[in-house]
Structure 1
């Protein structure tokens, strides 16, 4: 047996995989749901978010994602809180890429969302193409809301990141955003399985089957898509590993999980701990981390 030829044809015996060498590894410093009584290590205040993000940046993270929490610990779309965090991080680390979760739940937050888009401190903004029961909450974005948010993002020079939680959401994005002609591929997708009400990850088999279906559906309608697996829930570390194996990009951190592993109850101690864990897995699998400038270039939509 030869490593690179056969005596009977020109066929290559073991073709090289088309796996991309560079990996987007975004770190989500905090999220919308979990409280300090569920994990005391969860960053809530602006100072805690900045400190946790800086630890990750110092460890090599190039892409940072944040939420804002008010004094009671609730997720809010507050321009002042976002500006405090994002402008500080940008001032101290001009080389990194930043994005934030801008999900408005009332008219006041709609106004703040528009203000946030115009600040010039972010690379992209999520557009949730969904209608689900997320945890115990009804999380519904109407076609009009999806379309309007996408238009606002494009008008401000931001990349709409299509956020999907189940296979039905992918069809919503196809109908209202893609086939309508509003945006063209290759597009940026955020895939968020694993939380209650999303694509279930009850076991390794269900995690793999569900995630593979989501990836296949996206690639069917957007063959050159840029897919980022947002690894929340109990399966977080295992889902991140699966995504890396599949050539998909990854968002990790304390956004939507409190656990290190799906089969144990150990709590995450810090975001930098998770970043080092998953970047180590990526390195072991031959995936180099993508820099912020490469990330920005990859996010640019076709005109």
Structure 2
């Protein structure tokens, strides 16, 4: 305190206190309102205009994915019955969109039309309004053929096209240019909506070069941002989370100004990055595909997917955003709902 006193010219301060006292200078020009939040007396502008944030948000529930095992989180849905049960819990909690992967008897992610049908067909029959999508990643010729059969099954509304080449965890995860292009063509030919998956900012440029500037996809495009996992856009702290997501979103909007962007609550960023996305007017995906943790700063693991959906829905509500219905989501992405008889004939 003494150092501060020594730096202040108290003689000058005291001189002006003696002349004018401590009163502030106040000259109101808008009385009787000191501050009218809706008008100004000097013009017809709105002093504090409303933000351009969409009223509605879609929230997708990603049930299990390909990454995590029960070793990481004992609650992870692995078996077909667990995946189906978890999906139904999310639907009953209000989830309009379910994102599906299936696992084999050893717990590994597989492409198997019959397993997808075991999960999806009962859900479609019981909850016909829910939108269902799935990540179909073929790693060999056999799975490529099975992927083609799933594309023609009518089971899905949308399919992610990952435009990425990363070291994902301890694995090389590379999507070839011709593979991206052909999978996009197949998705469109099957009447589904492609969702461009980006893991780092360079993936945005891959999508631009191979899928958008070529005319294969026309804006507005559905994008899925998957950050914060090892090898993806790093999010080590709130600062790097904000910087990273802002950069990715800015790049997407440069490439596709009318973009529809969904952000996954992934890795350690978990619920925080989902909250940031909703603050930014974006959409979100939550669930045990993308993270095992509830919070970035604690080690509490997710108990079940419905719990995470309810948490995200509560955040959306607290931000004044209403959750879209499945039909509103389909209208947004430009997907025409399939008739139930078409689904049954494809399954048969």
Could you say which residue in structure 2 is the equivalent of 1:261? 295
Could you say which residue in structure 2 is the equivalent of 1:216? 250
Aligned pair 1:27/2:37, yes or no?
no
1:17 is matched with which residue: 51, 60, 71?
A: 51
Could you say which residue in structure 2 is the equivalent of 1:41? 75
Could you say which residue in structure 2 is the equivalent of 1:204? 238
Q: CA deviation at 1:88?
A: 1.4
Q: CA deviation at 1:78?
A: 1.3
Contact 1:32 1:256 in 2 (8 A): no
Q: CA deviation at 1:110?
A: 0.6
| Larger mean Cα displacement after TM superposition, 243-252 or 82-91 | 82-91
Aligned pair 1:271/2:305, yes or no?
yes
d(CA) in 2 for partners of 1:141, 1:50: 29
Q: CA deviation at 1:22?
A: 0.7
| Residue deviations 1:251-284 (CA, integer Å, cap 9, x gap) | 0011121111010001110111101111001001
d(CA) in 2 for partners of 1:184, 1:40: 42
Aligned pair 1:54/2:88, yes or no?
yes
d(CA) in 1 for partners of 2:67, 2:257: 33
User: Structure 2: which 5+ runs fail to align?
Assistant: 1-34, 336-348
Aligned pair 1:137/2:208, yes or no?
no
| 1:76-155 alignment runs, 5 A limit | 76-155=110-189
DSSP 3-state at the match of 2:128: coil
| Residue deviations 1:12-51 (CA, integer Å, cap 9, x gap) | 1110111001101000011101111111100011100111
TM-score (norm 2): 0.85
d(CA) in 2 for partners of 1:256, 1:56: 16
Aligned pair 1:195/2:195, yes or no?
no
2:260 is matched with which residue: 212, 226, 231?
A: 226
d(CA) in 1 for partners of 2:178, 2:228: 27
Q: CA deviation at 1:292?
A: 0.5
Q: CA deviation at 1:299?
A: 1.1
Q: CA deviation at 1:91?
A: 1.1
Contact 1:41 1:269 in 2 (8 A): yes
d(CA) in 1 for partners of 2:302, 2:161: 28
Q: Which has the larger radius of gyration?
A: 2
d(CA) in 2 for partners of 1:51, 1:67: 13
Alignment RMSD (CA, Å)? 0.8
Aligned pair 1:162/2:190, yes or no?
no
Contact 1:128 1:146 in 2 (8 A): yes
d(CA) in 2 for partners of 1:62, 1:184: 25
Q: CA deviation at 1:11?
A: 1.6
Q: CA deviation at 1:147?
A: 0.4
The structure with higher relative contact order (CA 8 Å, sep 6+) is 1
d(CA) in 2 for partners of 1:59, 1:175: 40
Q: CA deviation at 1:106?
A: 0.7
| Residue deviations 1:127-166 (CA, integer Å, cap 9, x gap) | 0111110001111111100000000001000111000001
Aligned pair 1:179/2:209, yes or no?
no
DSSP 3-state at the match of 2:261: strand
d(CA) in 2 for partners of 1:77, 1:136: 22
1:70 is matched with which residue: 104, 117, 125?
A: 104
TM-score (norm 1): 0.98
| Residue deviations 1:234-265 (CA, integer Å, cap 9, x gap) | 11100000000000100001112111101000
